[in-house]
């Protein structure tokens, strides 16, 4: 069909020679004086943001409100091209723009019937009329033919055909076959069936009268006319023609796509001169996520929104981008993009801290951390539940998202070093008034975006590697934006071993109690995830990563107002579970374990390998994942014991095996090493592991001297029973004080921290046994058990 023995200019030249030299000269002069009114391809098209396969996600109309999607001949189904050319202009590739035989035939039909039976216009003439509309008069037709000859003189057939494909009218503000295909059939023009191709081939003849969504019977009759023509010319096999006849006209007017609207808006602004922006978005996943998030947020109060970002871990391309819960809902701030918004990350930075500390050799997976009342300079971190757990492992601290142990590790690593690592991972942190990094960093003391957090969290599925997120399936034009930069190569943030161990810890936290189809089917879905909650319940986060995908989810109010009980476990994790059900199980597997990560037994309180310890030092065994079989000792500072010098104490013993020192005037017979727990843990340890039972007793000559220095609770007698006074109706207030203390005192009632100070007042106690405990700044502890009976 496209074989063309003569060039465009040769055909035109022959046509003018046949008409005479004078006519040819007149054409050349007019061609110079009356140039073709060509379209502005930059402004005439709607700007389109597409998915990874080129299908529109969102379209922005041109300056006149016309929906015209740019399309090339290669992006249109050959079926449509066959139907169009054989119905509209069978000799398109042979004539010079005007087909005299067609004009004579059309004129004869008009003279015989008085009606227009066939128009006689070639595709080139139709393009000329599109570029420059004219009246339906004899002069208008002549002018159209002149413009058609100009087109043929200046352009080849394929260029002319592409002008038709892009500018043909399909009704109202709808122009071009691509826009028509998506609007009426919800698919690309490359995917048209035989019947649909025939339908669109005839539609420009009367786009309003033949609209298939409004007038299906009329449209079917016109379509069948095209099919009969194709059958007569034997363009398609008869079987396919009959199948096309049988296909009903089913069309709907699909409103112009508005998927991933906030990503599309962002990219249109970022690349202002790009006509078509092809993204990496998975259309099906995007559609399902938008529907899921909108349904999920429906149960929340007005003003609440949510955002979800899904990345492909292979190259950190964006698979889905849901910037708000409901784009069209102003009550939920639907136009505010919460993927790029700057918010407090809560506890979501903790996995990075522990991973970096693993690489630095500060800790291992089962290192002993101290969840106790702590003061780091002027900073006093509190746990989410306001309580303390005493001795915890790194695994437990991360899985339970405990605050105090995280601050203990950050204090050892250094806030500035941690800040630098986060910046390298792509997390841009914004501190208040650009203050220097401090210990509050790990608990949400700086702000960042869901985009940055998700990019960085992917290191747990990418063996410790990161790189910038990619939104585009193809590089934009070099002149599309001043800020266009080539993406950086992947860079290492964590070792593969530290990344795997940290991910393994997070995967051990259960999601199964959130009921979903996947949870019911597999009982437990193990996936590395981390939640976060900002101050005032303003932001609820959850991040998750598998070998293939990384997920970032935020729930909250875009205007920054608090939302009651809006914390990660409560609001973000259930949405994650719904998101996971949209994906096949093979995309939710864990990364493989590095070969040099092995399980070994370590012992507390030292934290080192059991096989390297004296058997008497091993009080609690732990099975730990270790890198190269290295188990760093527990050397992090005890926040309650400024005198603490490690877990090994060398005790001086007299001949009877009792402790002694220079103040006791007892000769030292031997020195023996004992493993002890950090002093601040005494309250949480069973009696057999407390220092008074682990270390030998003091010699009698030393006890009187030590008694003056020993912490002791006064004001409550041990094992006493407190009752109301004889004329009272309730217990009087009782104040406990201490002697022999060093530093600040921390008070506990029945194992719960109640504050700090030189004294502690008891009131309003229920009947039964109670215990008051106190720990001082030197790690000393005392406790008194008593009863209350009213």
- For residues 102 and 120, the answer to whether their CB atoms sit within 8 Å is yes
Region of poorest pLDDT, from 38-47, 73-82, 199-208, 511-520 = 511-520
Same domain (yes/no): 473, 572: yes
Mean pLDDT over 638-660 rounds to 80
Residues spanned by the domain of 546:
258-343+448-479+514-593
Q: Tokens representing 282?
A: 């998975």
Tell me, what CATH number does 109's domain have? 1.10.3810.10
The share of the chain scoring above pLDDT 90, in percent, equals 49
DSSP β-bridge partners for residue 269: none
The one catalytic residue in 102, 188, 347, 495 is: 347
- For residues 550 and 311, the answer to whether their CB atoms sit within 8 Å is yes
Same domain (yes/no): 611, 740: no
Indicate the helix (H) or strand (E) that contains 549: strand 549-556
Mean pLDDT over 427-455 rounds to 91
DSSP β-bridge partners for residue 313: none
358 vs 377, higher pLDDT: 358
pLDDT tens digit sequence for 168-183: 999 878 899 998 998 8
Q: Is residue 252 part of a domain?
A: no
Q: Is residue 411 part of a domain?
A: no
CA dist., res. 53 & res. 476, Å (int): 16
Same domain (yes/no): 618, 746: no
Query: Would you state the pLDDT for residue 25?
Result: 61
Residue 344 binned pLDDT confidence (cut-offs 50, 70, 90): very high
* Sheet of strand 734-739, all strands in order from the earlier edge strand to the far edge: 712-714, 734-739, 759-762
- The count of residues in the chain is 790
Q: Could you give the C-alpha distances from 63 to 162, 254, 314, in angstroms and in order?
A: 21, 21, 39
Query: Is residue 608's pLDDT more than 60?
Result: yes
DSSP β-bridge partners for residue 530: 543
- For residues 59 and 48, the answer to whether their CB atoms sit within 8 Å is yes
CA dist., res. 746 & res. 295, Å (int): 48
196 vs 750, higher pLDDT: 196
Q: Is residue 166 part of a domain?
A: yes
CA dist., res. 269 & res. 272, Å (int): 5
Query: Helices 78-88 and 216-232, interaxial angle, to 10°?
Result: 80
Query: Is residue 480's pLDDT more than 80?
Result: no
Query: Would you state the pLDDT for residue 479?
Result: 45
Same domain (yes/no): 98, 187: yes
Tell me, what CATH number does 775's domain have? 2.60.40.10
Same domain (yes/no): 583, 609: no
Query: Would you state the pLDDT for residue 630?
Result: 95
Query: Would you state the pLDDT for residue 517?
Result: 39
SS3 string, 443-486, reads HCCCEEEHHHHHHHHHHHCCCCEECCCECECCCCCCCCCCCCCC
Same domain (yes/no): 680, 775: no
- For residues 215 and 202, the answer to whether their CB atoms sit within 8 Å is no
- For residues 760 and 736, the answer to whether their CB atoms sit within 8 Å is yes
Q: Is residue 362 part of a domain?
A: no
Of 50, 43, 476, 455, the C-alpha closest to 264 is: 50
Same domain (yes/no): 93, 129: yes
Number of domains in the chain: 5
Query: Would you state the pLDDT for residue 152?
Result: 85
The share of the chain scoring above pLDDT 70, in percent, equals 85
Mean pLDDT over 98-118 rounds to 61
Q: Is residue 58 part of a domain?
A: no
Same domain (yes/no): 282, 179: no
Q: Could you give the C-alpha distances from 499 to 355, 458, 542, 736, in angstroms and in order?
A: 6, 10, 18, 49
Region of poorest pLDDT, from 234-248, 366-380, 383-397, 479-493 = 479-493
Same domain (yes/no): 726, 764: yes
Helix (H, G, I), strand (E, B) or coil at 679: helix
Region of poorest pLDDT, from 604-613, 693-702, 739-748 = 739-748
Indicate the helix (H) or strand (E) that contains 167: helix 157-167
Query: Is residue 190's pLDDT more than 60?
Result: yes
Q: Among 706, 732, 753, which residue terminates a domain? A: 706
Residue 326 binned pLDDT confidence (cut-offs 50, 70, 90): very high
Q: Is residue 643 part of a domain?
A: no
Tell me, what CATH number does 328's domain have? 3.40.710.10
11 HSE (CA, 13 A, CB side): 23
Q: Is residue 380 part of a domain?
A: no
Query: Is residue 141's pLDDT more than 80?
Result: no
Q: Are strands 368-371 and 390-393 parallel, antiparallel or unpaired?
A: antiparallel
Peptide bond into 180 cis (omega under 30): no
Average pLDDT, the chain: 85
Residue 130 binned pLDDT confidence (cut-offs 50, 70, 90): confident
CA dist., res. 448 & res. 194, Å (int): 52
Query: Helices 415-424 and 350-360, interaxial angle, to 10°?
Result: 110
Q: Is the pTM of this model over 0.85?
A: no
Same domain (yes/no): 718, 770: yes
DSSP β-bridge partners for residue 603: 621
Q: Are strands 67-68 and 174-175 parallel, antiparallel or unpaired?
A: parallel
The one catalytic residue in 55, 77, 88, 773 is: 88
Residue with tokens 């009782």: 734
pLDDT tens digit sequence for 261-305: 999 999 999 998 888 899 999 999 999 999 999 999 999 999 999
Kindly provide the residue ranges of all beta strands, DSSP E only, lying in 146-267, ordered along the sequence.
174-175
Same domain (yes/no): 283, 332: yes
**Which residues lie closer than 8 Å to 731 by C-beta, 6 or more apart?**
722, 723, 724, 763, 764, 765, 788, 790
Q: Is residue 390 part of a domain?
A: no
Query: Would you state the pLDDT for residue 521?
Result: 41
Give 692: exposed, middle or buried? Use CB within 10 Å, 0-12, 13-18, 19+.
exposed
Q: Among 181, 212, 246, which residue terminates a domain? A: 246
- Give the range with max mean pLDDT: 376-385, 576-585, 673-682: 576-585
pLDDT tens digit sequence for 56-92: 899 887 767 788 888 899 999 999 999 999 998 888 9
137 is catalytic: no
Of 320, 240, 282, the C-alpha closest to 53 is: 282
374 vs 26, higher pLDDT: 374
Query: Would you state the pLDDT for residue 204?
Result: 93
Q: Among 674, 689, 706, which residue terminates a domain? A: 706
Same domain (yes/no): 621, 725: no
């Amino acid at each position: 069909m496209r074989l063309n023995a003569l060039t465009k200019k040769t055909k035109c030249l022959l046509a003018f020679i046949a008409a005479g030299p004078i006519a040819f000269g007149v054409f050349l002069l007019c061609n110079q004086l009356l140039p073709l009114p060509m379209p502005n391809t930059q402004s005439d098209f709607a700007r389109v943001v597409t998915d990874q396969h080129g299908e529109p996600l969102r379209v922005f109309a041109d300056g006149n409100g016309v929906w015209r999607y740019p399309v090339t001949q290669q992006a249109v189904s050959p079926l449509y091209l066959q139907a169009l050319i054989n119905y509209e202009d069978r000799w398109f590739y042979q004539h010079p723009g005007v087909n005299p035989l067609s004009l004579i035939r059309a004129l004869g039909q008009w003279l015989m019937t008085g009606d227009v039976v066939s128009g006689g216009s070639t595709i080139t003439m139709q393009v000329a009329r599109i570029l420059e509309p004219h009246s339906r008069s004899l002069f208008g037709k002549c002018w159209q033919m002149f413009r058609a000859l100009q087109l043929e003189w200046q352009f080849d057939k394929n260029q002319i055909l592409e002008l038709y494909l892009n500018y043909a009218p399909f009704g109202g503000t709808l122009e071009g076959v691509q826009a028509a295909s998506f609007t009426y059939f919800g698919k690309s023009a490359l995917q048209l069936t035989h019947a649909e191709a025939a339908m669109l081939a005839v539609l420009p003849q009367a786009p309003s009268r033949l609209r298939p969504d409004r007038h299906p019977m009329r449209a079917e009759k016109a379509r069948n006319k095209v099919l009969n023509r194709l059958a007569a010319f034997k363009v398609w096999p008869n079987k396919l023609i009959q199948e096309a006849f049988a296909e009903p006209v089913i069309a709907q007017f699909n409103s112009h796509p508005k998927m991933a609207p906030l990503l599309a808006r962002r990219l249109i602004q970022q690349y202002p001169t790009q006509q078509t922006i092809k993204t990496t978005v998975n259309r099906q996943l995007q559609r399902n996520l938008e529907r899921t998030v909108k349904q999920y947020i429906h149960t929340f109060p007005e003003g609440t929104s949510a955002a979800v970002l899904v990345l492909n871990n292979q190259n950190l391309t964006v698979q889905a981008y849901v910037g708000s819960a409901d784009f069209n809902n102003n009550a939920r701030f639907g136009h505010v993009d919460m993927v790029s918004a700057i918010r407090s990350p809560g506890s979501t930075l903790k996995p990075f801290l522990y991973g970096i500390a693993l690489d630095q050799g500060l800790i291992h997976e089962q290192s002993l951390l101290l969840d106790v009342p702590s003061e780091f300079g002027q900073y006093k971190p509190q746990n989410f539940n306001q309580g303390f757990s005493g001795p915890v492992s790194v695994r437990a601290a991360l899985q339970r998202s405990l605050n105090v142990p995280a601050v203990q590790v950050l204090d050892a690593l250094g806030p500035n070093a941690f800040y630098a690592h986060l910046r390298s991972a792509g997390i841009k942190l914004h501190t208040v008034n650009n203050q220097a990094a401090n210990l509050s960093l790990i608990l949400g003391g700086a702000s960042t975006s869901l985009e940055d957090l998700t990019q960085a969290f992917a290191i747990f599925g990418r063996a410790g590697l990161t790189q910038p997120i990619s939104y585009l399936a193809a590089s934009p034009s070099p002149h599309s934006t001043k800020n266009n930069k080539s993406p950086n190569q992947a860079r290492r943030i964590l070792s593969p071993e530290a990344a795997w161990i940290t991910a393994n810890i997070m995967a051990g936290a259960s999601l199964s109690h959130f009921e979903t189809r996947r949870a019911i089917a597999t009982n437990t879905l193990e996936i590395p995830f981390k939640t976060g909650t900002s101050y005032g319940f303003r932001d609820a986060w959850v991040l998750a990563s598998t070998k293939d995908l990384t997920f970032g989810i935020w729930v909250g109010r875009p205007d920054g107002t608090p939302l009651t009980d809006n914390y990660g476990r409560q609001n973000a994790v259930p949405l994650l579970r719904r998101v996971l059900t949209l994906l096949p199980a093979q995309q939710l597997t864990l990364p493989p374990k590095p070969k040099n990560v092995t399980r070994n037994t370590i012992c507390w309180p030292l934290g080192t390998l059991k096989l390297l310890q004296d058997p008497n030092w091993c009080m609690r065994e732990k099975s730990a994942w270790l890198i190269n079989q290295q188990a760093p000792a527990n050397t992090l500072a005890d926040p309650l014991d400024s005198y603490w010098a490690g877990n090994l104490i060398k005790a001086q013993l007299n001949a009877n095996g009792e402790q002694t020192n220079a103040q006791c005037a007892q000769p030292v017979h031997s020195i023996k090493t004992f493993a002890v727990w950090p002093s601040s843990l005494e309250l949480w340890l069973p009696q057999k592991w407390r220092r008074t039972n682990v270390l030998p007793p003091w010699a009698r000559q030393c006890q009187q001297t030590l008694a003056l220095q020993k912490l002791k609770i006064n004001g409550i007698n041990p094992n006493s029973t407190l009752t109301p006074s004889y004329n009272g109706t309730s217990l009087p207030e009782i104040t406990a004080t201490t002697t022999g203390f060093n530093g600040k005192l921390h008070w506990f009632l029945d194992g719960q921290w109640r504050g700090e100070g030189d004294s502690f007042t008891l009131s309003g106690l229920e009947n039964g046994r109670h215990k008051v405990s106190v720990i001082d700044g030197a790690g000393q502890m005392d406790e008194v058990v008593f009863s209350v009976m009213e």
